[in-house]
Amino acid sequence: MADILFNKIAFIGIGLIGSSLARVIRRDGLADTIVACARTEQTRKTALELDLADHVTADVGEAVTDADLVVICTPIGAYGAIAEAMSASLKPGAIICDVGSVKRAVIDAVTPHIPEGVHFVPCHPIAGTENSGPESGFDTLFEDRWMIITPVAGSNEEAIEKVADLWCRTGSKIERMDPDHHDQVLAITSHVPHLIAYTIVGTATDLEDRLKSEVVKFAASGFRDFTRIAASDPVMWRDIFLNNKDAVLEMLGRLSEDLSGLQRAIRDGDGDGLEALFARTREIRRSVIEAGQHIPPKPPGDDIND
Residues in contact with ligand NAP by CB under 6 A are 13-18, 38-40, 43, 73-76, 78, 99-101, 125, 128, 132-133, 233, 236
> In terms of CB distance, is 5 or 236 closer to ligand NAP?
236
> In terms of CB distance, is 125 or 151 closer to ligand NAP?
125
- CB of residue 116 vs ligand NAP: minimum separation in angstroms? 25
Helix, strand, coil percent content, the chain, rounded in steps of 5: 55, 15, 35
- CB of residue 271 vs ligand NAP: minimum separation in angstroms? 38
- CB of residue 212 vs ligand NAP: minimum separation in angstroms? 27
> In terms of CB distance, is 75 or 122 closer to ligand NAP?
75
- CB of residue 87 vs ligand NAP: minimum separation in angstroms? 15
> In terms of CB distance, is 73 or 159 closer to ligand NAP?
73
> In terms of CB distance, is 15 or 179 closer to ligand NAP?
15
- At residue 38, φ and ψ (nearest 5 deg) are -145, 160
Beta strands 123-125 and 146-149, pairing class: antiparallel
Q: Among 11, 7, 292, 306, which residue's Cα sits nearest to residue 137?
A: 11
Q: In sequence order, what are the residues at sequence separation of 6 or more whose Cβ sits closer than 8 angstroms to the Cβ of residue 60?
A: 12, 37, 82, 85, 86, 89
- At residue 232, φ and ψ (nearest 5 deg) are -65, 160
- CB of residue 287 vs ligand NAP: minimum separation in angstroms? 22
